[in-house]
Amino acid sequence: CRIAALASGRGSNLQALLDAIDGGSLAAQVVGVFSDRSKAAALQRARDAGIPARSLSPKAFASRAAFDAALFDAIDEVQPDLIVCAGYMRLISGGAVDARRGRIINIHPSLLPAFKGLHTHQQALDAGVAEHGASVHFVTPDLDGGPVIAQARVPVLPGDDADTLAARVLEREHPLLVETVRWLAAGRIALAEDAVQVDGVAG
Would you count residue 152 as binding ligand GRF (CB under 6 A)?
no
Would you count residue 170 as binding ligand GRF (CB under 6 A)?
yes
By C-alpha distance, which of 117, 107, 100, 65 is closest to 84?
Answer: 107
Q: Given the complex with ligand GRF, which of 66 and 118 has the nearer CB atom? A: 118
Pick the piece of the chain touching ligand GRF (CB under 6 A) from 22-30, 74-82, 90-98, 103-111: 103-111
Pick the piece of the chain touching ligand GRF (CB under 6 A) from 2-10, 136-144, 181-189, 190-198: 2-10
Q: How far apart are CA 106 and CA 86, in angstroms?
A: 6
Would you count residue 13 as binding ligand GRF (CB under 6 A)?
yes
Q: Report DSSP state, residue 178.
A: H
Residues 162, 168 contacting (CB under 8 angstroms): no
Distance, C-alpha 103 to centroid of its chain: 12
Would you count residue 173 as binding ligand GRF (CB under 6 A)?
yes
Amino acid code (one letter) for 25? S
Distance, C-alpha 1 to centroid of its chain: 16
Would you count residue 94 as binding ligand GRF (CB under 6 A)?
no
Task: Point out the residues that are catalytic.
Answer: 108
The residue ranges that bind ligand GRF (CB under 6 A) are 7, 9-13, 86-87, 107-109, 134, 170, 173
